[in-house]
């Protein structure tokens, strides 16, 4: 009995949270369209979320490209298809691994960062202070951050993809004596707009959910320093989950569009 | 303020670089699909598109010259493939060039190969339709092989039935087998038949194996067929498969005929049995009887010298000598 | 239960003065917890009113309802002749520019320098600067008022707690508000720093002739600053009077506040 009650409570909480998040997203679109626009803060956030995440994304992307190629080599050699490496790695990175890994890295860095920042601002009444000094904190803090995350993530994905491909090409160059030119020629030969376009669109959504969840968790953070920690933590967890959910939906949708 | 300016500068570099990279990637991809630059449309008609897709490459003498941009089903046996090719390649492609659907390497995507014609004719123009050449599809070959295989299986069944009835001694042949000399003849025939059927069986097994393998790597085989490098190899294999299948078919036909004749009870074997074979057999029997009589005489002679019977024969001799002496005495 | 009537309001002049804040029958509850239970209060122009209460007695909730940071469940709130509930966002922002709010934990924006912190309220209220002044001069003036002009380019994290509070005070007065609301102005500070802050509050009031509503549980602070006091007990105004009147009261609940 007690379990059922607990389960009902959990489901209610989950649905409530989903509703609140949806409302939060709706508020974003409402406020996003209304002036005044906090352009300066937007640029600052773009710098904070974009440039500051670049090194991390470059590093992870490079390692992923390297590892993916090294791990696939033996199998491809077994099938005598090692020359298909650029096609395989290229498509999997551009379509899936690049955007998703970048998004997860950003979920870890950006969502937790925003969650902690807004959470501590909430706890120390900075958000209230903003409100009473005539600045809409939702506009100033939330809209700029969500927008910055949405805009920056696709760019980060481009960089991530590039270094991942470079890492892969490096392995092929050193182990397989494939020139960089041949490698990238093959990659771009294998790729089509059907790979690049949905992945790029998907990245915008990744950025959006990361920013949204980070802001949501931080903005409605509970009182006290523990609240900040919880905000940052749940922001990462929920953002990562939503990234996968968005990815799943994106694959579905792009399948519909590109299977015609 | 200086800090903000620097940040904005870095951000600008970051965003512009990212966007440029994305656009370059998009351009490179588009370039590969001939989305930029002057192109002309051409088409070719095929019976089977073999999995060709929009965006697949079009090659002329092995060089990428364009892409497939539309595949249109005209009617149930006609597929029109529209391609766009680079305008600068137009001068090299003559009207007698032949379009073929092939594949890029072992596991690569499908593509259209345009092979230059031999004649000296004018170059193609926009909207022209190229002649096409449909290669024998692997699938068709495989289905032929399958039919042959089934036939062979039926044949072995028949052969098994025949051989079983032969061994159990039923029917004309079985009865005949019980005859001494004629049996040899028939037995030989039977052995030959058995050998043939065994060979047929083995061949069928082999065929099965081949068919299984071919089916398993259907795509590979299909692709191999169209690949320029490995084409010859694979084509040889297929030719062998075809010839062996034909051979098996003819063997099967022959065997079928033989079996049918045996079952119907007329034809070569029966004639042989009724005429020549039986006659010689009878002759042989007669000779055997003769030999038997002769041998009986010999045996009788041998018995005379045997130690068991020697006493009897000696007694007989003594009696005879006694009688002779008696007779001599009487005469004296 | 009408303790307000028992202790007569001594300052006779107050009655003729203009009422700047009028609260009547304010109620607010969080679930089962009824924080405010029919609170009444009037703040007169130029007056220093201290509202004292234990932690969690609803002082902060009351002050937040005043500036529209929280919505009361019921009750009437009028600030500078305008009923808060009826105001739209624009008018509320304009009204808020006449109300200074010093937050409990200073609530300085961590990501901004002292200068940016002070400039922040001016972003939306440029009209307050006037024709002659500039943002820069206003910032420096406010900083000089709190004696911290040299910290203008520092980050909040580089400042001590007392300095932060003074910067926060400077930020509160930068719009030259008519009313200043102090939420626990001396909380978390050592007695000497507290005294400095109290002195500052007095000097600022003298200089700008503001009305002040001070929320505190610090008796020393109340003694120095208050002209009139309201004791908030069980969500309602339990007693009212000057510091002397209340500190000499024999009511056990009132006495409890002044016991050392």
Selecting from A51, A83, A154 the residue whose C-beta is nearest the C-beta of B10 gives: A51
Torsion of CA A44, A46, A52, A57, to 10 degrees: 180
CB pairs under 8 A between A and B: 65
CB C58 within 8 A of CB C36: yes
B41 in a structural domain: yes
Query: What pLDDT does A55 receive?
Result: 93
Q: How confident is the model at residue C10 (pLDDT cuts 50, 70, 90)?
A: very low
Mean pLDDT of B242-264: 61
Mean pLDDT of B44-66: 82
Query: What pLDDT does A143 receive?
Result: 93
A11 in a structural domain: no
Tell me which chain C residue has its CA closest to the CA of residue A48: C111
Q: How confident is the model at residue A156 (pLDDT cuts 50, 70, 90)?
A: very high
Rg (CA), chain C: 18
Is any Cβ of chain A less than 8 angstroms from the Cβ of B9?
Answer: no
Torsion of CA C38, C39, C45, C47, to 10 degrees: 160
B225 in a structural domain: yes
Q: How many domains does chain A have?
A: 1
In angstroms, the CA B196 to CA B253 distance is 12
Tell me which chain C residue has its CA closest to the CA of residue A127: C107
B85 with B118, same domain: the answer is yes
Strands C74-79 and C82-83: antiparallel
More confident residue, C61 or B34: C61
Which residue has 């409605």 as its token pair? Answer: A220
Calculate the alpha carbon distances from B109 to A108, B104, B297 in Å. Answer: 38, 6, 92
Dihedral sign for Cα atoms in the order B317, B319, B325, B327: negative
Q: How many CB atoms lie within 10 A of CB A66?
A: 18
Percent of chain C with pLDDT over 90: 0
CB contact under 8 A, B21 and A192: no
Q: Report pLDDT digits (tens) over A99-136.
A: 999 999 999 999 999 999 999 998 888 988 888 888 88
Mean pLDDT of A175-192: 84
CB contact under 8 A, B10 and A47: yes
Interface list for C 112-151 with A (CB within 8 A): 120-121, 123-125
More confident residue, C240 or A244: A244
What order of strands is seen across the sheet that includes strand C74-79? C33-44, C19-30, C74-79, C82-83
pLDDT at B319 over 80: no
Percent of chain C with pLDDT over 70: 90
What average pLDDT is seen over chain A?
89
pLDDT at C8 over 50: no
Dihedral sign for Cα atoms in the order C50, C51, C53, C59: negative
* Single residue among B250, B265, B280 that ends a domain in this structure: B265
Q: Report pLDDT digits (tens) over C143-194.
A: 888 888 888 888 888 888 888 888 888 888 888 888 888 888 888 888 888 8
The highest-confidence range among B53-57, B139-143, B256-260, by mean pLDDT, is B53-57
Is any Cβ of chain A less than 8 angstroms from the Cβ of C34?
Answer: no
Calculate the alpha carbon distances from A213 to A57, A100, A110, B314 in Å. Answer: 20, 16, 10, 134
Domain boundaries, chain C: 14-98+177-258, 108-170
Query: What pLDDT does A192 receive?
Result: 84
Q: How confident is the model at residue C7 (pLDDT cuts 50, 70, 90)?
A: very low
* Single residue among B265, B292, B326 that ends a domain in this structure: B265
For residue A156, give how far its alpha carbon lies from the nearest alpha carbon of chain C (Å).
Answer: 24
Percent of chain B with pLDDT over 90: 1
A143 in a structural domain: yes
Interface probe, candidates A76, A191, A194, chain B, greatest B C-beta count within 10 A? A191
Selecting from C64, C106, C121 the residue whose C-beta is nearest the C-beta of A133 gives: C121
Is any Cβ of chain A less than 8 angstroms from the Cβ of B313?
Answer: no
Helices (H) and strands (E) in chain A, counts: 12, 0
B143 with B234, same domain: the answer is yes
Query: What pLDDT does A255 receive?
Result: 81
Q: Report pLDDT digits (tens) over C73-123.
A: 888 888 888 888 888 888 888 888 888 888 888 888 888 888 888 888 887
Interface probe, candidates A133, A135, A138, A225, chain C, greatest C C-beta count within 10 A? A133
Calculate the alpha carbon distances from B256 to B162, B266, C249 in Å. Answer: 11, 15, 128
What average pLDDT is seen over chain B?
70
For residue C4, give how far its alpha carbon lies from the nearest alpha carbon of chain A (Å).
Answer: 31
Calculate the alpha carbon distances from B174 to B171, B187, B256 in Å. Answer: 5, 10, 19
A93 in a structural domain: yes
Residue C154 in tokens: 């520092």
Tell me which chain A residue has its CA closest to the CA of residue B104: A84
Query: What pLDDT does C258 receive?
Result: 77
A56 in a structural domain: yes
CB contact under 8 A, A155 and B4: no
Mean pLDDT of B90-94: 83
A2 in a structural domain: no
Query: What pLDDT does B183 receive?
Result: 52
Query: What is the 3-state secondary structure of chain B?
Result: CHHHHHHHHHHHHHHHHHHHHHHHHHHHHHHHCCCCCCEEEEEEEECCCCCCCCCCEEEECCEEEEEEEEEEEEECCEEEEEEEEEHHHHHHCECCCEEEEEECCCCCCEEEEEECCCCCCCECCCCCEEEEECCCCHHHHHHHHHHHHHHHHHHHHHHHHHHHHHHHCCHHHHHHHCCHHHHHHHHHHHHHHHHHHHHHHHHHHHHHHHHHHHHHCHHHHHHHHHCCCCHHHHHHHHHHHHHHHHHHHHHHHHHHHHHHHHHHCCCHHHHHHHHHHHHHHHHHHHHHHHHHHHHHHHHHHHHHHCHHHHHHHHHHHHHHHHHHHHHHHHHC
pLDDT at B138 over 60: no
B309 in a structural domain: no
- C14-98+177-258, what's its fold? Rossmann fold (3.40.50)
CB C173 within 8 A of CB C208: yes
Which residue has 């004649």 as its token pair? Answer: B119
Chain A: partners with 3+ C-beta pairs within 8 Å: B, C
Window from A175-184, B297-306, C36-45, C169-178 with minimum mean pLDDT: B297-306
B41 with B158, same domain: the answer is no
Chain C: partners with 3+ C-beta pairs within 8 Å: A
Residue B168 in tokens: 């159990």
E strand or H helix at A133, and its extent?
A: none
Query: What pLDDT does B238 receive?
Result: 56
Query: What pLDDT does B332 receive?
Result: 63
CB B247 within 8 A of CB B152: no
Query: What pLDDT does A237 receive?
Result: 93
Calculate the alpha carbon distances from B31 to B303, C7, C130 in Å. Answer: 112, 89, 60
Q: How many domains does chain B have?
A: 2
pLDDT at B328 over 90: no
- Helices A52-78 and A85-92: crossing angle in degrees, nearest 10, is 140
Which residues are CB-neighbours of C40 under 8 A, at least 6 positions away? C4, C23, C24, C25, C26, C236, C237
Selecting from A117, A129, A134 the residue whose C-beta is nearest the C-beta of C125 gives: A134
Q: How many CB atoms lie within 10 A of CB B258?
A: 19
| Burial grade of A200 (CB within 10 A; 0-12, 13-18, 19 or more) | buried
Range of the domain at A56: 27-258
A12 in a structural domain: no
Q: Which residues of A touch B110 (CB under 8 A)?
A: none
Mean pLDDT of B109-114: 81
What order of strands is seen across the sheet that includes strand C48-53? C99-102, C179-183, C211-216, C48-53, C228-233, C236-241
Query: What pLDDT does B235 receive?
Result: 56
A22 in a structural domain: no
Query: What is the 3-state secondary structure of chain C?
Result: CCHHHHCCCCCHHHHHCCEEEEEEEEEEEECCEEEEEEEEEEEECCCEEEEEECCCCCHHHHHHHHCCCCCCCEEEEEECCEEHHHCCHHHHHHHHCCEEEECCCCCCCCCCCHHHHHHHHHHHCHHHCCCCCCHHHHHHHHHHHCCCHHHCCCCHHHCCHHHHHHHHHHHHHCCCCCEEEEECCCCCCCHHHHHHHHHHHHHHHHHHCCEEEEEECCHHHHHHHCCEEEEEECCEEEEEECHHHHHCCCCHHHHHHHCC
Output DSSP code: residue A220.
T
CB C109 within 8 A of CB C85: no
B143 with B238, same domain: the answer is yes
Residue B188 in tokens: 């030989």
Strand partners, C237: C232
Interface list for C 74-103 with A (CB within 8 A): 89, 93, 96-97, 99, 101, 103
Strand partners, B73: B79
Range of the domain at B119: 36-133
pLDDT at C56 over 60: yes
CB A191 within 8 A of CB A91: yes
B123 with B207, same domain: the answer is no
Q: How confident is the model at residue B256 (pLDDT cuts 50, 70, 90)?
A: low
pTM of the predicted model as reported, rounded to 2 decimal places: 0.68
Mean pLDDT of C236-255: 81
Mean pLDDT of B263-280: 53
B166 with B126, same domain: the answer is no
CB contact under 8 A, A117 and C111: yes
B224 with B110, same domain: the answer is no
Calculate the alpha carbon distances from A127 to A79, A135, A227, C70, C180 in Å. Answer: 60, 9, 15, 13, 18
Interface probe, candidates B18, B26, B103, B227, chain A, greatest A C-beta count within 10 A? B18
B118 with B194, same domain: the answer is no
Q: How confident is the model at residue A163 (pLDDT cuts 50, 70, 90)?
A: very high
Mean pLDDT of A78-95: 87
Mean pLDDT of B12-16: 90
More confident residue, B155 or A66: A66
Query: What pLDDT does A70 receive?
Result: 92
Tell me which chain A residue has its CA closest to the CA of residue C173: A133
In angstroms, the CA A45 to CA B258 distance is 92
* Single residue among B133, B158, B178 that ends a domain in this structure: B133
Of C20, C86, C26, give the one whose Cα is nearest residue C48. C20
In angstroms, the CA A230 to CA A116 distance is 9
More confident residue, B255 or B51: B51
B89 in a structural domain: yes
Q: Which residues of B touch A81 (CB under 8 A)?
A: 106-107
A18 in a structural domain: no
Is any Cβ of chain A less than 8 angstroms from the Cβ of C238?
Answer: no
In angstroms, the CA B150 to CA B172 distance is 30
Window from B30-34, B58-62, B147-151 with minimum mean pLDDT: B30-34
CB contact under 8 A, A154 and B11: no
pLDDT at A168 over 90: yes
């Amino acid at each position: 009995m007690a379990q059922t009650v607990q389960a009902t409570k959990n489901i209610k909480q989950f649905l409530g949270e989903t509703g609140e998040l949806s409302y939060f997203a709706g508020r974003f679109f409402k406020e996003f369209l209304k002036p005044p626009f906090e352009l300066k803060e937007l640029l600052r956030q773009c710098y904070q979320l974009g440039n500051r995440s670049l090194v991390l994304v470059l590093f992870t992307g490079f390692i992923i490209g390297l590892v993916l190629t090294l791990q696939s080599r033996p199998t491809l050699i077994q099938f005598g298809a090692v020359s298909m490496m650029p096609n395989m790695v290229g498509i999997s990175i551009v379509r899936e691994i690049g955007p998703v890994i970048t998004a997860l890295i950003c979920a870890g860095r950006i969502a937790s960062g925003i969650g902690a920042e807004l959470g501590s601002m909430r706890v120390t009444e900075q958000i209230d202070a903003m409100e009473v000094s005539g600045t809409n904190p939702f506009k100033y803090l939330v809209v700029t951050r969500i927008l910055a995350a949405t805009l920056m993530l696709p760019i980060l994905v481009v960089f991530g993809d590039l270094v991942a491909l470079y890492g892969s090409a490096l392995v092929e160059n050193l182990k397989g004596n494939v020139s960089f030119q041949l490698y990238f020629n093959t990659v771009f030969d294998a790729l089509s707009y059907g790979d690049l376009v949905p992945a790029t669109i998907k990245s915008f959504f990744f950025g959006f959910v990361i920013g949204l969840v980070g802001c949501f968790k931080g903005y409605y953070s509970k009182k006290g320093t523990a609240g900040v920690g919880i905000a940052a933590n749940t922001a990462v967890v929920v953002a990562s989950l939503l990234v996968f959910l968005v990815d799943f939906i994106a694959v579905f949708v792009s399948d519909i569009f590109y299977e015609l | 303020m200086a800090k903000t300016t620097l940040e904005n500068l870095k951000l600008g570099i970051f965003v512009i670089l990212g966007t440029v990279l994305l656009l370059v990637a998009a351009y490179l991809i588009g370039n590969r699909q001939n989305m930029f630059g002057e192109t002309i449309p051409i088409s070719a008609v095929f019976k089977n598109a073999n999995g060709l897709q929009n965006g697949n490459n079009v090659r002329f003498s092995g060089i990428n010259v364009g892409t497939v941009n539309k595949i249109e089903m005209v009617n149930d046996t006609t597929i029109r493939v529209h391609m766009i090719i680079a305008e600068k390649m137009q001068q090299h492609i003559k009207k007698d060039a032949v379009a073929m659907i092939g594949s890029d390497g072992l596991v690569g995507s499908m593509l259209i190969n345009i092979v230059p014609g031999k004649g000296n004719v004018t170059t193609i123009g926009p909207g022209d339709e190229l002649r096409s050449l449909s290669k024998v599809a692997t699938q068709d070959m495989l289905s032929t092989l399958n039919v042959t295989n089934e036939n062979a299986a039926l044949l072995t069944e028949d052969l098994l039935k025949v051989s079983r009835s032969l061994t159990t001694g039923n029917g004309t042949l079985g009865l005949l087998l019980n005859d001494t000399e004629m049996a040899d003849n028939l037995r030989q025939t039977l052995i030959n038949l058995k050998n043939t059927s065994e060979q047929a069986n083995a061949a069928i097994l082999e065929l099965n194996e081949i068919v299984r393998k071919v089916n398993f790597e259907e795509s590979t085989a299909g692709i191999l067929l169209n690949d320029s490098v490995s084409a010859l190899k694979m084509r040889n294999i297929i030719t062998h498969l075809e010839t062996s299948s034909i051979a098996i078919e003819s063997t099967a036909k022959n065997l079928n005929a033989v079996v049918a004749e045996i079952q119907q009870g007329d034809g070569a074997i029966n004639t042989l049995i009724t005429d020549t074979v039986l006659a010689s057999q009878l002759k042989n029997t007669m000779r055997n009887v003769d030999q038997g009589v002769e041998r009986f005489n010999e045996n009788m002679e041998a018995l005379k010298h045997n130690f068991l019977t020697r006493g009897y024969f000696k007694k007989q001799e003594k009696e005879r000598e006694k009688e002779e002496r008696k007779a001599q005495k009487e005469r004296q | 239960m009408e303790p307000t009537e028992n202790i007569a309001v001594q300052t006779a002049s107050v009655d003729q003065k203009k009422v700047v804040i009028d609260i009547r029958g304010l109620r607010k509850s969080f679930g089962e917890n009824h924080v405010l239970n029919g609170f009444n209060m009037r703040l007169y122009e130029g007056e220093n009113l201290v509202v004292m209460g234990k932690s969690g007695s609803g002082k902060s909730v009351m002050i937040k309802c005043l500036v529209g940071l929280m919505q009361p469940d019921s009750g009437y709130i009028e600030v500078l002749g305008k009923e808060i509930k009826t105001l739209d966002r624009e008018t509320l922002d304009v009204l808020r520019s006449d109300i200074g709010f010093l937050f409990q934990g200073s609530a300085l924006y961590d990501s901004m320098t002292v200068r940016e912190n002070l400039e922040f309220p001016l972003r939306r209220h440029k009209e307050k600067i006037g024709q002659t002044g500039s943002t820069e001069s206003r910032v420096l003036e406010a900083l000089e008022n709190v004696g911290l002009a040299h910290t203008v380019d520092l980050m909040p994290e580089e400042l001590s707690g007392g300095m932060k509070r003074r910067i926060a005070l400077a930020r509160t007065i930068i719009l030259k508000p008519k009313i200043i609301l102090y939420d626990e102005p001396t909380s978390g500070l050592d007695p000497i720093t507290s005294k400095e802050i109290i002195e500052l509050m007095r000097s600022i009031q003298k200089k700008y002739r503001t009305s002040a509503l001070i929320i505190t549980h610090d008796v020393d602070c109340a003694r120095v600053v208050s002209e009139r006091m309201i004791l908030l007990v069980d969500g309602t105004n339990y007693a009212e009077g000057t510091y002397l009147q209340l500190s000499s009261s024999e009511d056990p609940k009132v006495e409890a506040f002044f016991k050392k």
